[in-house]
Structure 1
Amino acid sequence: MSYQMIALTMFSSMMVLLLTGQRVFGVIGFVGAAAAILLWGDGGIEMPFNASFVLLNWYPLLTLPLFIFMGYMLSESGIASELYDMFHVWMGSLKGGLAVGTIGLMVVVSAMNGLSVAGMAIGASIALPELLRRGYDKIMVTGVVQAGSSLGILVPPSVVLVLYGMIARQPVGKLWLAGAVPGLMLAAMFVLYIVIRCRLQPDLAPALPEEERHHTAREKFKLLRAGILPLLIFFAMTGLFVLGVTSLVESAAVGATSALVAAWIKGRLTRQVIENTVHKTLGITCMFMWIILAALCFGAVFDGLGAVRAIEALFLDRIGMGPWEILLMMQLSYIVMGMFLDDTAMLVIVAPLYVPLVMSLGFDPVWYGVLYTITVQIAYMTPPFGYNLFLMRAMAPPEISLGDIYRSVWPFVTIMLLGLALVTAFPQIAMWLPDTFYGVRR
C-alpha cells in the first residue's frame, strides 16, 4: 500500500470512529498508535511513548492552566456579573442596548480567559436569562450569546493562538496583536447589526423602562469601576509580555496571580470559589493535554509517512491548483472538521500539515493563524453539528429549542464570513498592529 493510501486510511478511520461518539483524544490516539504498530512493528510503540515526553517537556504549555485559572477565578468570584451590571446601566436606554452590552461583556470575558467555553457559560447563565426577562426576542439573543462567546479564541490572550504559535513556531506576541484588530472588528460588526436590526424591528429588543434608567453619576461611575479591574489585569498581563518584560509563562502567571488578588481584595476568595475554580481549571487543562498528546502521536506517524510533502506535491504538481485555491480548500476543510472536532483537535491534527504548505505558498503564517481562528469560529456555529450549538443547547433555558439555536446563528455566521473575506482580501487588517509594533522595536 502506498503512503498516500495509508494516510487516507488513517484519516477516514479517524472520521468513522468519531461518528461513533467516542472521545476525540481516544480516537486520535488509538488511530495514531495502531498505525505506528502496524507500520513499524514493536518499535512503533515508541512513537506514542515519545509523544508523551514531548508534551511533558513542553514548558510553554504551562500557560494553559494559568490562563484558564485566571478566567475562571474572575468568573467564579462574580467579577463578570459586575461587568454585566455595568453594561446594563450604561447601555440600557438604547434599543437593543442590553444585547450590545452582552457583546461588550463577551469581549471583556475573552480578554480575561481566552476560551469560548467560559464566554458561553457566562453569557448563557448571566446575560441570556436577563435578556429574555426583559422581553428580547429569544432567537436573536441566543445568536448574540453564541457570536459573542466565539470571540474568546481570537481576542488576546487567546489560548488557541498560543497553541498555534507553539505548533507553527511563530511568536505568540505577534499572533495576539494580529488577532486583536480582527476580533474587535467582528465585535463592532455584531454591534452594528444589532443596532440596525433593532431600529428596523423595535419589538425585538425593547429599551429599559424609564424608572430603571435613573442612576446618579456616582452610581454609574461605581459600576464603571467594576469593568476597569479585569481590563487592568488584561493590560498588565499582555502589556508586560508584548514589551518583553516577562516571558509568555511569566505573563500567564501574572494574570493568574492578579485574578487571585482581585478576588481577595473584593472579599470573595472563599473556599467554594477556590474549589470550583481549581476543579474547572483541572478539567479543561486535562482535556487539552489528552488531545495534544494524542495528536502528537498521530502527527508523528503522518510525518514519518512524508504526508506533508505528499500533500504539497498533490495540490501543486498533480492537480495544478493555485495558491489561493489551495488556501480556500484548507479553510473549507476546517469548516467540515468543525462539525466533529473542537478547535484544539483540529489545530494539532491539521496545522503540522497545513502550516508548512502555507509557508511554501508564500503566505504569512501569522496572518494564516488569524484566518484559521476566524474559520474555526464559523465552524463552531455552523449547523448541523457546530460545537457551540450543542454547548448552547446544554446551557440554555428550556424554552429555547435546538431549532431556535439553529435559526439564531445565521446572521452572525454571515457577518463572520464577511469578516473572514475582509481579512483575507486585506491582510493588513490583521498584520498592521504586529508589523507596526515589531517594526518599531527593530
Structure 2
Amino acid sequence: MSYEMIAIVMFASMMVMLLTGQRVFGVIGGVAVVTALFLYGDGGSEMGFSAVMKLMKWYPLLTLPLFIFMGYMLSESGIADDLYHMFHVWMGGTAGGLAIGTIGLMVMISAMNGLSVAGMAIGATIALPELLRRGYDKVMVTGVIQAGSSLGILVPPSVVLVLYGMIARQPVGQLWLAGVFPGLMIAAMFIVYIYLRCRANPRLGPVLPLEERENITRAQKIGLLKAGILPLFIFFAMTGLFVMGVTSLVESSAVGAVAAMIAALVKRRLTLHVLHETVRKTLLISCMFFWIIMAALAFGSIFDGVGASRALDSFFTEDLGLGPWQILIMMQISYILLGMFLDDTAMLVIVAPLYIPLVGALGFDLVWYGVLYTITCQIAYMTPPFGYNLFLMRAMAPPEISLSDIYRSVWPFVTIMIVGLGIVTAFPQIALWLPEFAYSNGR
C-alpha cells in the first residue's frame, strides 16, 4: 500500500469513527496507534507514550489550566453579573443599548476566560432573560449572544490559540497578541450593526423608559463603574505585564489566576463552594484538552511521517495547478464545512497535520494563519445546520425561542465575520503589527 493510500485510509477511518459519536481523543489517538503498529510493528506501540512525553515537556502548556481557572473563578464568584449590570445601566438609553452592552460584556468575559462556552453560558443566563423582558426582538438578541460568545476563541487569552500554538509550534504570546486587533475590530463591527439596525427599527431594541433612567443618579452610574475596575485590573496584570516584558507567558497566567482569586476575595465571594466548583470545572476542561492534544500529536507524527503533507502540497500545486491564495481560500471553506459537524478543537487536530505544513510551505505567516483559522472557526460555530453554537444556544434558550429563530438570528453576524475575515486576509498587519511591536521591544 502506498503512503498516500495509507494517509487516505487514516483520514477516512477517523472521519467514519467520529460520525459514530465516539470521543474525539479516542478516535484520533486510536487511529494513530493502530496505524503505527501496522507500519512499524511492536515499536509503534510507543507512539502514544512519546506523545505524552512531548506534551509534558511543553512548558507553555501550563498556561491552559491557569487561564481556565481564572475564567471560572470570575464566573463562579458573580463578577460577570456585576459587569452586565454596569453595561445595562450605562447603555440602556441608547437604541439597542442593552444588546451593545451585551457585546461589551462578552468582550470582557473573553478577556477573562478564553472559552466561547463560558461566554455563551453567561450571556444566555444573565443577558438573554433581561433583553427579552425589555422587549428586544428575540431573533436579534439570540444572534447577539451567539456572535458575542464566539469572541472567546479570538480575544486573548484564547485557549484555541494555545492549542494552535502547540500543534503549529508557534509562540503562544505572539498568537494572543495577533488576536487582539482582529477581535476588537469584529466586536466593533457587531456594535455598529446593532446600533444602525436598532436606529432604523427601534422596535428591535427599545431604549429603557425615561422614568427608569431618571431613577438612577449620575453618582450611582459612576459608582457602578467600579464593577469594571477589577476585570480591567486582572486583564492589565495578566496581559499588560506580559506585553511590557515584565512577566513570561506562564508567569502571566499565574498572575491572572491569583488576581482572579484576589478579586473574588475583595468582593467577599471566595467561598469553599466557589473554590470547589472552580477547581472541579478547571480539572474537567483541562483534562479534556490534554487528552485531545496528546492524541493530535500522535496522529500528526504518523500522518506527516507517511508524507501526507508533501502529497497534499503536490496535489494542489502541481496536479491542480492552484496558486497559494486559491489553496488558502479552499482551506478556509473546508473549515466552515467541518464546523457544521465538529467543534473547534476537533477541527484543529484533524486538519492541522494536513494544512499547517502546507501553509508554511506556501510562504504564509503561521501566526497570521492562526488568526484566520480562529475567525473561520467563529464562522463555522454559527453556520447551520449543525454549527456548535447553534445547539448550545438551543440547550440554554427559553422555550419561546425556537430552533428556526436561532438559525435565522445568525446570518447577519456570520456575514459580518466573513467581512472581517476578508479584511484580516487582505491586510495581515491588522493581526501582525502588535506582536511585531511587542517582540521588537525586548520580548
TM (norm. structure 1) is 0.97
Change (3 A) 1:439 1:50: closer
Output the CA distance in 2 between the equivalents of 1:255 and 1:360: 37
Aligned partner of 1:327 in structure 2 is 328
Output the CA distance in 2 between the equivalents of 1:301 and 1:166: 17
Change (3 A) 1:393 1:345: same
Preserved CA contact (<8 Å) 1:24 1:341: no
Preserved CA contact (<8 Å) 1:295 1:345: no
Aligned partner of 2:362 in structure 1 is 361
Output the CA distance in 1 between the equivalents of 2:229 and 2:395: 31
1:36-435 matches, within 5 Å, as 36-214=36-214, 215-435=216-436
User: Residue type matched to 2:329 in 1?
Assistant: L
User: How far is the alpha carbon of 1:406 from its aligned partner?
Assistant: 1.0
Output the CA distance in 1 between the equivalents of 2:278 and 2:193: 35
1:320 aligns to what SS in structure 2?
coil
Which segment is superposed worse, 58-67 or 34-43? 34-43
Output the CA distance in 1 between the equivalents of 2:121 and 2:134: 20
User: How far is the alpha carbon of 1:101 from its aligned partner?
Assistant: 0.2
Preserved CA contact (<8 Å) 2:113 2:158: yes
Preserved CA contact (<8 Å) 1:374 1:420: yes
Preserved CA contact (<8 Å) 2:55 2:294: yes
Which segment is superposed worse, 394-403 or 145-154? 394-403
Q: Which runs of 5+ in 2 are unaligned?
A: none
User: Residue type matched to 1:122 in 2?
Assistant: I
Deviations along 1:270-295, one digit per CA (max 9) or x if unpaired, are 11111111111111111111111211
Preserved CA contact (<8 Å) 1:18 1:340: no
Output the CA distance in 2 between the equivalents of 1:181 and 1:6: 41
1:156 aligns to what SS in structure 2?
coil
Preserved CA contact (<8 Å) 2:303 2:353: no
2:259 aligns to what SS in structure 1?
helix
User: Residue type matched to 1:4 in 2?
Assistant: E
Segments ≥4 residues shifted beyond 6 Å: none
Output the CA distance in 2 between the equivalents of 1:291 and 1:402: 30
Output the CA distance in 2 between the equivalents of 1:426 and 1:276: 43
User: Residue type matched to 1:2 in 2?
Assistant: S
Which segment is superposed worse, 268-277 or 14-23? 14-23
2:99 aligns to what SS in structure 1?
helix
User: Residue type matched to 1:369 in 2?
Assistant: G
User: How far is the alpha carbon of 1:4 from its aligned partner?
Assistant: 1.1
User: Residue type matched to 1:331 in 2?
Assistant: Q
User: How far is the alpha carbon of 1:99 from its aligned partner?
Assistant: 0.2
Output the CA distance in 1 between the equivalents of 2:417 and 2:246: 35
User: How far is the alpha carbon of 1:441 from its aligned partner?
Assistant: 4.4
User: Residue type matched to 1:429 in 2?
Assistant: I
Output the CA distance in 1 between the equivalents of 2:166 and 2:97: 39
User: How far is the alpha carbon of 1:49 from its aligned partner?
Assistant: 2.0
User: Residue type matched to 2:246 in 1?
Assistant: V
Deviations along 1:21-55, one digit per CA (max 9) or x if unpaired, are 22211221222222222222222111112112222
Output the CA distance in 2 between the equivalents of 1:57 and 1:339: 34
Preserved CA contact (<8 Å) 1:241 1:248: yes
1:213 aligns to what SS in structure 2?
helix
User: How far is the alpha carbon of 1:196 from its aligned partner?
Assistant: 0.9
User: How far is the alpha carbon of 1:315 from its aligned partner?
Assistant: 1.4
Output the CA distance in 2 between the equivalents of 1:57 and 1:430: 29
Output the CA distance in 1 between the equivalents of 2:30 and 2:353: 19
User: How far is the alpha carbon of 1:405 from its aligned partner?
Assistant: 1.0
User: How far is the alpha carbon of 1:440 from its aligned partner?
Assistant: 4.6
User: Residue type matched to 2:393 in 1?
Assistant: M
What is the aligned residue count? 442
Output the CA distance in 1 between the equivalents of 2:436 and 2:302: 36
Q: Which runs of 5+ in 1 are unaligned?
A: none
Deviations along 1:150-199, one digit per CA (max 9) or x if unpaired, are 00111111121222223223222222221111101100110111111111
Which segment is superposed worse, 94-103 or 49-58? 49-58
Deviations along 1:383-410, one digit per CA (max 9) or x if unpaired, are 1111111111111112212211111111
TM (norm. structure 2) is 0.97
Output the CA distance in 1 between the equivalents of 2:59 and 2:441: 29
Which segment is superposed worse, 211-220 or 383-392? 211-220
Preserved CA contact (<8 Å) 1:4 1:310: yes
Change (3 A) 1:54 1:441: closer
Change (3 A) 1:80 1:210: same
Change (3 A) 1:49 1:7: same
User: Residue type matched to 1:341 in 2?
Assistant: L
User: Residue type matched to 1:129 in 2?
Assistant: P
Output the CA distance in 1 between the equivalents of 2:33 and 2:137: 49
Preserved CA contact (<8 Å) 1:374 1:416: yes
Which segment is superposed worse, 46-55 or 326-335? 46-55
User: How far is the alpha carbon of 1:128 from its aligned partner?
Assistant: 0.6
Output the CA distance in 2 between the equivalents of 1:12 and 1:20: 13
User: Residue type matched to 1:117 in 2?
Assistant: V
Which segment is superposed worse, 181-190 or 197-206? 197-206
Output the CA distance in 2 between the equivalents of 1:348 and 1:232: 34
